[in-house]
Structure 1
Amino acid sequence: MGLALLLGVFVLGLILGVPVAVTLGVASVAYLLEAGIPLVTIPQKMYAGIDTFVLLCIPGFILAGNLMNEGGITTRIVRLAQAMVGWMRGGLGLTNVAASMLFGGVSGTAAADAASIGGMMIPGMKKAGYPVEFSAAITAASSTVGPIIPPSVPMIIVGTLSGISVGKMFIAGALPGVLMGVAMMITAWIIAQRRNFPRQPWQGFGELGKAFLGAFWAVSMTLLIIGGMLSGFATPTETAVVASIYAFVVGAFIYRGLKLSAVPRILIDSAVSAASILLLVGLANVFGWILVSERIPQMIAETVLSITTNKYVVILLINLVLLFMGMFMETIAALIILFVPLLALAQGVGIDPIHFATFAVLNLMIGLTTPPVGVCLFICAGIGRISLAQITKAIWPFLLTNLIVLMLVSYVPFFSTWLPNLLSN
């Protein structure tokens, strides 16, 4: 009865569009009241869920991304991307994807990418003669690369849940992220050729050099983050703090786009963003604790393994579950609730934990661009002033491309394990 009440309230909340954090909390309270368990369990389990040193990465990287974005990073990254690929047919579409790949190394979140890049690229592409549906769709699709390429908030959550090194998780996402970005650029180029989209003139190596120098300090932030962790010089949390200081210095004194008067507002915005994520983590931990106490992870693993022990079939089933849940749930909540039981299932058929974690995150990133709860779809549709139906129709070629990449990453462990294994030797 208690489990049915928990899941019933949770599903009802999702259907009604209640924020996921609130839905998790209300469902957990309903279960505890029905089971006669003291409600003091909620703050206890919430605290246990966020009492992890590595989670301090989250406010650090959010602050670093906000400081760099306020300091003028978006403009410089778009300029570099346009100098590199803007001269091709459909060049602004390719620029959009390339900018997301570069920006992902700073923000670590898809929503920040969609809002920052989209706010500049969608109106610019529309003005240059691109269909607004295509412009919004490619922005939404490419924004999902951000949380795959390091730094990545979902990868931090995964490392916390599994005990896998966050540094290794960051590195594991690098190659799949690049593969995903290149695949979307090829898709955009094919669409541009067929629909005869505009092309920009080649601006010359001089412009390419100037654009690179202009974006050098922004792109170097990714190297700082990865280098700090791989060298063992700093933990992920310490690296996030260093990245924030670096972002402040670059934005205020090198790019000179960051005004000191804006710093208090940025600090408050970053604190609110980090608090909302950590609140979600805490409430999802309560929900997850209830599922574990009801033996749901073991039941899932036992049920699937009683049907098949074929690793490739299990990978397909895991992908289907994650893709479906990604259509309705926020990424971090889905990870906290589903990751542990699915990891146990994956390990039961011999799947490497880093490999599993990488394609699990990739699944949920794709979910950000699928209706009915695709956050990036709503952001880009809002910027482009088009309906959800219009952007959903236009994004299908990119969704198909990302699903092909997902299958490659899922069934070829090399893409996610080669770099971590190479750099750890």
Structure 2
Amino acid sequence: MTLTQTTGAAAVEAPAKADVRSWKAPIAFAVFTVLYALLILAVPRSGETTFRISTEADALQLPAISAPVGVTIWTVFGLLVLLTVFSAILVRGFRKTPLWLVAAYIVIAIVGFLTWAAAGATIPLAGLLAGAVALAIPLIYGALAGVIGERAGVVNIAIEGQLLAGAFSAAVVSSLTGQPLLGLVAAMFAGVLVAFVLAAFAIRYLVDQVIVGVVLNVLVIGLTSFFYSQVLQPNQALLNSPPRFPRIPIPFLSEIPIIGPVLFRQTIIVYLMYIAVALVWFGMFRTRWGLRLRAVGEHPQAADTVGIKVNPTRFWNVLLAGAIAGLGGTVFTIGNGIAFNKEMTAGAGFIALAAVIFGQWDPFKATLAALLFGFASSLQNTLSVIGSPVPSEFMLMLPYLVTIFVVAGVVGRSRAPAADGVPYIKG
């Protein structure tokens, strides 16, 4: 073997090193480990926490797991300290904190917090996770829209408006027709309409993309609130009584403990989400469409040189992203059979943007990030039901605290597409 071959083999086997050291992850780990320690010291808890795994509909009934509170929370603290130290050692050696380490820290911290918060009570694990998936669905659709838009070079701040427009249109059309499928189509059209305005101003007229997105969010909130007050409320039975998509359990799969209730006893909107995530990932990294999409977002001049029409490519992909976000808005109305209400998306579009950044502009990673945020919201609801000692004000802040934690503290050095937010002028 030659020296060149030996050096090349060693380079392949050695872990990749970061260009610069980013201490964000170990610092965030250290801060939250200290906060965790202060929490369990300030409010000591005793007894046992029971985790109920199976539901009555599961084919295989698994026994509940009881965890002694004292032993569990201090064991978790020790593990969090070890993970924090390990992350610091990696960064000190110019290595990145890997995603699996972040995931392990989050899962272990959640186990410790749940054990402490639910001392003496029972947590329905399947219900908690099912709620997490349900709350994450609009975030996942919004994140997919954000990934497509930003990979094409357009910052889609208007995801919030697209979700809200989709929820409004789905409620009205499905109420009028009694057909939730037509409501779903109307929601996608509404999302495309909002995206069209964004694309026209940002791409054609070169208006700042962030400003256009913020204005569109305010516009959609104003329009839907006006129509809700002036049209929907006086005619609620006719215009704002949307039917609900029925749950479709998948035979055999729906009876598997934990996985079945969480993933395979869902509505068509959830199953479409599974398909959308897979198609967007495959299309983005395995097809000509995806190659062109990433090219106009990374280096539009080079893409133009090889014959790719940069601005039309961006335009149509922004519309596609709008259709996906509009579809996500249906979760708020026909997905749950709930009447439309003012600002019912409650900032979901902005959390979806955070999922895009946390997921490093990758469809699968952004989906996992959205699931984490959905879990934080579901945890808030579950702990409120079982009577946790955690103050209700803190529980309301929990999803947003998680968002700040993962974006500001855990993501580390994350690079957006090079031409993201930069208008392209030919020639």
Fold shared by both chains (TM-score > 0.5): no
TM score, norm. by length of structure 1: 0.28
Task: Mark the structure with the bigger radius of gyration.
Answer: 2
| Higher helix residue share | 1
